[in-house]
Amino acid sequence: MKGCGMKIWLDNGLVDKEQAKVSVFDHGLLYGDGVFEGIRVYGGKIFELEAHLKRLWDSAKVIRLEIPMTMEQMTEALYQTVRANNVVDGYIRQVVTRGVGDLGLNPYLCKRACVIIIAANIQLYKEELYEKGLKVVSVPTLRNHPMALPPQVKSLNYLNNIMAKIESIDAGASEAIMYNSEGYVAEASGDNVFIVKNGTIYTPPVQAGSLDGITRQVVMRLASQAGLPVVEKNLTRFDLYVADEFFLTGSAAEVIGVVEIDGRLIGQGAPGPMTQKLRKLFFEYARS
């Protein structure tokens, strides 16, 4: 931030960035016990806020975490944080940890959940990559089994995704493509996967091991409204290799084309026409 210190929402109000601290006994730190959301801000307005709040509350319900405020109070806290940091086009990280407990696993010894809201700017990929497209690799780290942790829960335990990200960086690629235990495409380390084949858009179902991304939902809706067929279907590595187009979606990534996977060129080696159209439709919708 320029001209003023960054403000962070911590529990009951805004504090200076330097004062935004949590206990070493917080189970979010000790065990990755908590949930979070990544949300875009466009023109000072929080993008798809209702959908993000619903997903946060659903995730908390699944892990038996009580959020210590109402959705209305959370909405006000989010906007206060955005305004305090003069964020017009940016990104919000909204975190709810289990709170302070002891060194044991028992979550019920944590008396109150901790709420953290950070509003700042973000650029996940360089601008040139949106024009040229990404190179990605398949990685050996499998997506967590849905019976271990449902993929719809956006939890603080992100080590599965981080291991995949490390493997992609080691391979010199921008992103990792993760598969489930049955060999089907799950998601990228931080984004949802889409391909285009013979004029139809395909994306893995959430049951394959992917987060039900908010940007994913918006892109699917915009595609349908534009008359572009969208099908949720289990995809294999073969399907990715022979795709006409390939793109990723996510709150931070928005819509970005993939031009190479595992050394195999996608289409003509540049983001395809459907990818470009959906990116344009997404930005028109986001700023409308």
3-state secondary structure of 216: helix
pLDDT for residue 4: 62
Is the Cβ–Cβ distance between 26 and 20 less than 8 Å? Answer: no
Measured distance CA(267)–CA(162) in Å, rounded = 29
Give residues with Cβ within 8 angstroms of 131, minimum separation 6.
Answer: 271
Determine which one of 111, 154, 277, 280 is catalytic.
154
- What are the contacts of 55-59 at 24+ separation with CB within 8 A? 55/152, 55/154, 55/212, 55/214, 56/94, 56/96, 56/154, 58/152, 59/35, 59/152, 59/153, 59/154, 59/155
pLDDT of residue 122: 82
The first and second tokens of residue 209, run together, are 């091991």
Instruction: In whole angstroms, give the CA distance from residue 219 to residue 224.
Output: 9
* pLDDT of the residue at 1: 40
As a whole number of angstroms, the distance between CA 156 and CA 138 comes to 24
Provide the token pair at 12.
């009951």
- The full length of the chain comes to 288
Question: Residue 84: in which H helix or E strand, if any?
Answer: helix 71-84
Residue 123: the pLDDT is 79
Among residues 264, 275, 261, which one has the least CA distance to residue 185? 261
For 4-51, give the DSSP string.
S--EEEETTEEEEGGG----TTBHHHHH--EEEEEEEEETTEETTHHH
pTM of the model: 0.94
Dihedral angle at the C-alpha atoms of 121, 215, 201, 257, nearest 10 degrees?
A: 10
Q: Could you give the domains of the chain?
A: 7-120 (3.30.470.10), 127-286 (3.20.10.10)
For residue 96, the number of C-alpha atoms closer than 13 Å in the C-beta half-sphere is: 25
In this prediction, residue 172 carries a pLDDT of 97
Is 21 tagged catalytic? no
Q: Which residues contact 243 (CB under 8 A, 6 or more apart)?
A: 195, 196, 197, 266, 267
Rounded Cα gap, residues 39 and 95, in angstroms: 11
Per-residue pLDDT tens listing for the chain (288 residues): 444 699 999 999 999 999 999 999 999 999 999 999 999 999 999 999 999 999 999 999 999 999 999 999 999 999 999 999 999 999 999 999 999 999 999 999 999 999 999 999 887 788 899 999 999 999 999 999 999 999 999 999 999 999 999 999 999 999 999 999 999 999 999 999 999 999 999 999 999 999 999 999 999 999 999 999 999 999 999 999 999 999 999 999 999 999 999 999 999 999 999 999 999 999 999 998
**The residue to which tokens 């950070």 are assigned:** 118
